[in-house]
Amino acid sequence: MSPIAPPRGTKDLLPDEAPAWRWLHETHASVAGRHGYELIDTPMFEATDLFARGVGSGTDVVEKEMYTFADRGGRSLTLRPEGTAPVLRAVLGARLEQRWRPVRVHYAMAMFRYDRPQAGRQRQFTQVGIECIGDRDPSYDAEVIEVAWRFMAQLRIDGISLQLNTLGDRDDRLRYREALSAYYTPLRDSLCDDCRRRLEVNPLRLLECTRDAQHVAGAPLLRDHLSGESRGYFADVVTHLDEAGIPYTHNQRLVRGLDYYAHTAFEFWHTSLAGAQNALGGGGRYDGLAEEIGFPATAGVGYALGVERLLIVAANQGVAPVAQPPAQLVVCTATAAGAKEARKIARHLRDRTTVIADLSARRLDKKLRDADRLGARLALLVGLDEGLVLRNLRTRAQQVVTADTVLDAVSAELLQAAQEGVP
RNA sequence: GUGGCUAUAGCUCAGUUGGUUAGAGUGCCAGGUUGUGGCCCUGGAGGUCGAGGGUUCAAGUCCCUCUAGCCCCCCCA
């Protein structure tokens, strides 16, 4: 029988990578928290309608990437492919926007999309993100971008490029869509298959095609179809970003793959990721989403960043923390007689530091070797003729101690190690 | 969902035009050392050669299907 393999496109978090994983999540919670964002979490699956209506039926996510299934009660459910619609549902469902506005929440959640896996692209992946819900002011768009920016700066990741665009409001996009159709329809026969489909389903996506680049170059620009109000909104966002000292590239071809975005849309790109997977994350404003999922119209803006991709970049740049030793001290029995005493002392020492007890029948040299291998600083040998022996695994110096003095001796050794600045 | 590359020990990889019982380095375990990490010496475990089928006297090697990883499209995270 062959061993059971993990499902395609999934990945285990092993102890070696856990410190970097934890570091990233704690940093995100800390940076978001410092801006007043509170933790939220939502179910891993939702009613399929939440995404079909919220994200948009013409999008790739809904059209071909969702894990949708019927439960035993015949309900159509879908594993969460993105976080914004569920978080908005949770916030508005609980009427949180009636406490104070805007509601600021941050999250770290697993997402599921059925796609062909590649490096940096999995079927289950994790996003950290924030949502700022309940007020429509350009300063919040800038605030959200700034939190993402500060977060990645705190991770000491550099080389990030902020791609910024405005999609205007609904009327702007309707006008623009007509202009795009008018431009592309005569060209229909010379378009690639995908673009012919886009022309029917989602004309904005025509702008992102790389095969029909010559057509894109001559296509009308959304900028020329924006209302004065939309232009002013974008100008305000840009002003706030300038004040915050956050550089950006105005990318007029950035349209985002989810239907709910309006006005501000942005992505964070990084060149050290492979060309195909260069986006660390993105976000934008989604003022129409609340109504799409059956709630009173409520403004919102947020971002989501891919944890696995951030960790790839962090590892490439050598900024992710490495694994710490699981214990500072290993209590080793030198003879079988010491087992009971060793357990008792280990219990005692855990008041002071991290302790592993090795009571196995293996030879003492193997125990010491393993204690050193796992990175412990000290070993306490129990069951020797001369009594308890505390050995420093780095200096190889050792001293005889008693049950009464062992705690102080351990403290002294650890203090000295700390003063020497060794990790 | 389309096309391409790849798959041999825990890891990195050899394996000739198809030819005995599939190898190396490293790692792992044990002994040398009944009580001290390294080095060294000795011994050992570990492979249905990704899975299944086919061709052949004979398949790790050739053919087909499947699975998985990576890459390109695509999409985004």
Contacts of A85 (CB under 8 A, 6+ apart): A46, A50, A51, A54, A55, A260, A289, A293
- Between strands A378-384 and A387-392, the pairing is antiparallel
A305 touches strand B (CB under 7 A): yes
pTM score, whole prediction: 0.90
Chain B footprint positions (protein CB, under 7 Å): 1-3, 28-31, 33-38, 48, 50-51, 67-77
Nucleotide of closest approach to A194 (CA, C1'): B74
SS3 content of chain A, % helix, strand, coil (to 5): 40, 20, 35
List domains and CATH numbers for chain A. 18-169+227-316 (3.30.930.10), 329-419 (3.40.50.800)
Nearest protein residue to the C1' atom of B38, measured from CA: A369
Phi-psi region of A295 (alpha: psi -120 to 50; beta: other; left: phi over 0): beta
Give the full edge-to-edge strand order of the sheet including A76-79.
A45-47, A76-79, A68-70
pLDDT digits (tens, 9 = 90+) for A297-323: 999 999 999 999 999 899 888 888 877
pLDDT digits (tens, 9 = 90+) for A18-73: 899 999 999 999 999 999 999 999 999 999 999 998 887 777 888 788 999 999 99
Nucleotide of closest approach to A116 (CA, C1'): B1
Nucleotide of closest approach to A366 (CA, C1'): B37
**Of residues 153 to 192 in chain A, which lie within 7 A of strand B by their beta carbon?**
none
A4 touches strand B (CB under 7 A): no
Q: How far is it between the farthest Cα atoms of chain A?
A: 95
**Of residues 267 to 296 in chain A, which lie within 7 A of strand B by their beta carbon?**
267, 274-282
Q: Which of A62, A47, A306, A49 is nearest to A202 (CA)?
A: A62
- Which of A34-43, A266-275, A379-388 is least confident? A266-275
